[in-house]
């Protein structure tokens, strides 16, 4: 009995020590879990690199309208407006329109972040495109700054140009009627017949307005002003014909790509110096700007030791003339469209 009691007592002591040991372990585990941050206990979030969110944070003055990655990537109203000119809609703007535009912008942000996480910014094609874009943008900035440089033109330079090019400042004012080839595209003979009737009516004394109303259903004839050194969009035959007429005279039927034209010269004059001054100034400023750009290019060729390899260039030109164009296997690949919503189908009237 005595022996049995000692055994029971030892068993109870061992049980108490075991329970205490378990309690200490649970306490330690609880303490460790309690010290962990909430982010560590949640599902692990995508990691971002230094090229994505925080370095590109919007200015504090912009209004955040959506967030990604708990605010690491922000979308602002100003960004939405820069991309889609929302503010210009003014009273026509609606929440439905804004939601669609915002959804498109969010897709772009999400696809971009996913592409960065997958390492697409290390892709050789991406790097090559970025390099091309960088070169184009730097060129554009340089050209813009060059264009903004002041170009001075003196009155003496303007006078000298005017005196040397007086014929250039001849002006011709005329009216004309156009029998459009688009209107008569199915019957060119009818177009010539109607134009011929109109010309006979003009020669009999009818005004351009009367003839236009009778044959073309127009209240007024077209008006045109021409400079001697600038051709019209009707072509050389038309220009040579009208410049050869005196005021008050009609042309015959002039066939152009636009149709058949009958023109009447209203006035022919030469602009004096004061009337031509601004026009001449514009010409000289343009010429000086072009000369400055040419000099700039030539100086850069010397600065950066430009050399042309004539032999290689001529050889590649010869190869290009005789080579066959590359054969494409199937249609060219289409651009990915996952960052933009699909186009809406237009409803057609039955």
86 CB-near residues (< 8 Å, 6+ apart): 77, 80, 93, 98, 101
Q: In angstroms, rounded to a whole number, what is the distance separating the alpha carbons of residues 147 and 133?
A: 21
- Is 50 exceeded by the pLDDT of residue 195? yes
pLDDT band at 326 (very low <50, low <70, confident <90, very high): low
Give CB contacts under 8 A, 24+ apart, made by 52-60: 52/112, 52/113, 52/116, 53/113
Give kind and range of the element (H or E) at residue 224: strand 222-227
| Cβ atoms of residues 171 and 271 within 8 Å | yes
| Cβ atoms of residues 265 and 248 within 8 Å | yes
State the chain's mean pLDDT as an integer: 79
Q: What residues does 74 pair with on adjacent strands?
A: 67
| Cβ atoms of residues 301 and 182 within 8 Å | no
**Concatenated DSSP letters of 264-329:** EEEEEEE--HHHHHHHHHHHHHHHHHHHHHHHHHHHHHHHTT----HHHHHHHHHHHHHSPPPPPS
Q: In angstroms, rounded to a whole number, what is the distance separating the alpha carbons of residues 79 and 22?
A: 58
Query: Residue 301: its pLDDT value, please?
Result: 94
pLDDT band at 313 (very low <50, low <70, confident <90, very high): very high
Query: Which value, in Å, is the radius of gyration of the alpha carbons in the chain?
Result: 40
Compute how many other C-beta atoms are within 10 angstroms of the C-beta atom of residue 72.
15
Among 16-25, 97-106, 139-148, 189-198, name the one with the lowest average pLDDT: 16-25
Give residue-wise pLDDT tens across range 85-108: 888 887 788 889 999 999 999 999
Among 33-42, 82-91, 101-110, name the one with the lowest average pLDDT: 33-42
> Which tokens go with 289?
């700007």
Give kind and range of the element (H or E) at residue 174: strand 170-180
Percent of the chain with pLDDT over 90: 45
Q: In angstroms, rounded to a whole number, what is the distance separating the alpha carbons of residues 224 and 241?
A: 14
Query: Residue 183: its pLDDT value, please?
Result: 85
Compute how many other C-beta atoms are within 10 angstroms of the C-beta atom of residue 174.
23
Q: In angstroms, rounded to a whole number, what is the distance separating the alpha carbons of residues 257 and 182?
A: 10
- Is 70 exceeded by the pLDDT of residue 300? yes
Q: What residues does 76 pair with on adjacent strands?
A: 64
Q: In angstroms, rounded to a whole number, what is the distance separating the alpha carbons of residues 312 and 324?
A: 19
Mean pLDDT of 233-250: 90
Query: Residue 32: its pLDDT value, please?
Result: 37
**Concatenated DSSP letters of 115-167:** HHHTTGGG-HHHHHHHHHHHHHHHHHHHHHHHHHS-----HHHHHHHHHHTGG
**CB burial of residue 344 (10 Å; 0-12, 13-18, 19+):** exposed
- Is 60 exceeded by the pLDDT of residue 64? yes
Query: Residue 65: its pLDDT value, please?
Result: 92
Query: Residue 338: its pLDDT value, please?
Result: 43
Give residue-wise pLDDT tens across range 147-172: 888 889 999 999 999 999 887 888 88
pLDDT band at 345 (very low <50, low <70, confident <90, very high): very low
Burial per residue of 206-237, b for 16 or more beta-carbon CB atoms within 10 angstroms, e otherwise: eebeebbeebbeeeebeebebebeeebebeee
Q: Please state whether the predicted TM-score (pTM) of the whole model is above 0.75.
A: no
- Is 50 exceeded by the pLDDT of residue 34? no
170-274 in CATH: which number? 3.10.50.40
From residue 64, give the alpha-carbon distance in Å to each of 52, 60, 266.
17, 9, 63
pLDDT band at 232 (very low <50, low <70, confident <90, very high): confident
**CB burial of residue 198 (10 Å; 0-12, 13-18, 19+):** buried
């Amino acid at each position: 009995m005595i022996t049995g009691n000692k055994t029971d007592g030892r068993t109870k002591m061992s049980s108490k020590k075991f329970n205490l040991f378990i309690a200490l372990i649970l306490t330690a585990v609880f303490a460790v879990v309690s010290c962990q941050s909430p982010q560590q206990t949640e599902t692990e979030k995508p990691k971002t690199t230094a090229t994505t969110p925080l370095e590109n944070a919007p200015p504090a003055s912009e209004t955040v309208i959506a967030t990604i990655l708990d605010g690491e990537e922000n979308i602002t109203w100003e960004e939405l407006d820069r991309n889609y000119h929302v503010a210009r809609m003014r009273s026509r703007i609606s929440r439905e329109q804004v939601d669609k535009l915002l959804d498109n912008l969010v897709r772009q942000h999400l696809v971009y972040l996913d592409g960065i996480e997958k390492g697409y910014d290390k892709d050789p094609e991406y790097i090559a495109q970025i390099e091309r874009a960088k070169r184009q943008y730097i060129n554009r900035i340089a050209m813009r700054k060059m264009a903004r440089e002041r170009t001075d033109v003196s009155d003496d330079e303007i006078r000298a140009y005017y005196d040397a090019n007086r014929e250039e400042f001849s002006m011709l004012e005329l009216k004309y009627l156009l029998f459009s080839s688009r209107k008569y595209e199915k019957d060119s003979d009818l177009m010539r017949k109607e134009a011929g009737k109109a010309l006979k009516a003009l020669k009999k004394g009818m005004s351009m307005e009367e003839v236009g109303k009778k044959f073309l259903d127009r209240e007024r004839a077209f008006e045109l002003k021409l400079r001697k050194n600038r051709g019209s969009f009707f072509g050389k035959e038309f220009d040579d014909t009208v410049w050869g007429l005196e005021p008050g005279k009609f042309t015959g039927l002039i066939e152009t790509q636009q149709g058949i034209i009958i023109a009447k010269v209203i006035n022919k004059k030469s602009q004096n110096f004061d009337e031509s001054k601004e026009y001449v100034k514009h010409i000289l400023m343009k010429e000086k700007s072009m000369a400055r750009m040419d000099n700039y290019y030539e100086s850069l060729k010397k600065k950066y030791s430009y050399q042309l390899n004539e032999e290689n260039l001529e050889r590649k030109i010869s190869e290009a003339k005789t080579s066959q164009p590359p054969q494409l296997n199937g249609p060219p690949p289409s651009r990915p469209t996952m960052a933009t919503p699909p186009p809406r189908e237009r409803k057609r009237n039955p």
